[in-house]
């Protein structure tokens, strides 16, 4: 009986024990830092193509990123849009891809012949 009480006391004491050692203190001091990002000045045009790209691409990309892409042909844009959907999970329906590709080609003034 005494052994049982002793064992229970030891177990309970173990449960309520303080952590073994205090956490290590950080060696360096953290300093607050602020950065100022440049203002976004680029905008997609207020056209059907611009609206299409706003709806499908600007959740992840700035207008600046979209308007500074090198001119691509429709088939290259098709591959990129499919990659956005499949690799990066852009919420694009495959049924919308032809309209998106057309919008990209229109935005750049490129043709599929290039």
DSSP string, 39-82: P------SSHHHHHHHHHHTTTS-HHHHHTSPP--HHHHHHHHH
The yes or no reply on residue 81 touching ligand HEC (CB under 6 A) is: yes
Q: What secondary structure letter does DSSP report for 95? A: G
Residues 10-69 that bind ligand HEC (CB under 6 A): 56-57, 59-61, 66, 69
CB of 90 to ligand HEC, least distance (A): 3
CB of residue 39 to ligand HEC, shortest distance in Å:
22
Sequence-separated (6 or more) residues with CB below 8 Å from residue 104: 49, 53, 72, 74, 77, 81
Residue 95 binds to ligand HEC (criterion: CB under 6 A): no
80 binds ligand HEC (CB under 6 A): yes
Contact residues toward ligand HEC (CB under 6 A) are: 56-57, 59-61, 66, 69, 80-81, 83-84, 88-90, 100, 104
């Amino acid at each position: 009986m005494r052994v049982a009480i002793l064992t229970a006391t030891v177990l309970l004491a173990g449960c309520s024990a303080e952590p073994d050692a205090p956490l290590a203190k950080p060696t360096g001091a953290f300093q607050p830092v602020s950065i100022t990002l440049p203002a976004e000045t680029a905008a997609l045009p207020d056209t059907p193509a611009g609206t299409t790209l706003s709806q499908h691409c600007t959740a992840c990309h700035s207008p600046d990123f979209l308007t500074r892409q090198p001119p691509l042909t429709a088939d290259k844009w098709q591959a990129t849009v499919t990659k956005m959907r499949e690799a990066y999970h852009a919420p694009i329906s495959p049924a919308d891809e032809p309209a998106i590709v057309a919008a990209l080609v229109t935005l750049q003034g490129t043709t599929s012949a290039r």
